[in-house]
């Protein structure tokens, strides 16, 4: 019998295509499956809504913000880990995200080592929840 290892699915949500590409390339290079979305609304309409092991999202986007997305998912009982990235660090917004369970809050340009470490913690958190 073959033991199949499940590859973690990471969703990257950012309205800036260059940021989506850079982060998805980094995450893919780590061996994860990556899906990108230009908006929170596009993510909410996808199957990755229930399949993501971690969401990496911008804080400020047209339409639904990353913070609003996390709050909405938490209200629905979805505990997927969130990693936030932002160009403008606001203490109030950061505090709200962390209170709702965000893994971390990174500023652009994103420090790759911090992102990789946060992603590893998010995957471990998923494994702890599912018993993998």
Could you read off the pLDDT tens digit of each residue along the chain, which spans 132 residues? 444 568 999 999 999 999 999 999 999 999 999 999 999 999 999 999 999 999 999 999 999 999 999 999 999 999 999 999 998 878 888 888 888 889 999 988 899 999 999 999 999 987 666 555
Identify the architecture of domain 9-126 in CATH. Answer: 3-Layer(aba) Sandwich (3.40)
Beta strands in the chain (DSSP E): 9-13, 33-37, 54-58, 82-86, 104-107
Contact 27, 10 (CB under 8 A): yes
Please give the pLDDT value at position 1: 46
Please give the pLDDT value at position 127: 62
Please give the pLDDT value at position 3: 46
Contacts made by residues 109-117, CB under 8 angstroms, sequence distance 24+: 110/22, 110/23, 110/85, 112/26, 115/23, 115/26, 115/56, 115/83, 116/26, 116/30
């Amino acid at each position: 019998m073959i033991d199949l290892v499940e590859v973690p699915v990471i969703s990257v949500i950012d309205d800036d295509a260059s940021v989506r590409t850079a982060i998805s390339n980094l995450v893919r290079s780590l061996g994860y499956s990556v899906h990108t979305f230009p908006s929170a609304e596009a993510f909410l309409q996808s199957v990755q809504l229930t399949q993501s092991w971690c969401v990496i999202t911008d804080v400020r986007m047209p339409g639904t913000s990353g913070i609003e997305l996390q709050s909405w998912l938490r209200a629905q009982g979805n505990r997927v880990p969130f990693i936030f990235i932002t160009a403008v660090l606001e203490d109030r917004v950061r505090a709200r995200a962390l209170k709702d369970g965000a893994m971390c809050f990174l500023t652009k340009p994103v420090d790759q080592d911090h992102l990789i470490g946060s992603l590893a913690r998010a995957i471990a958190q998923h494994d702890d929840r599912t018993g993998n």
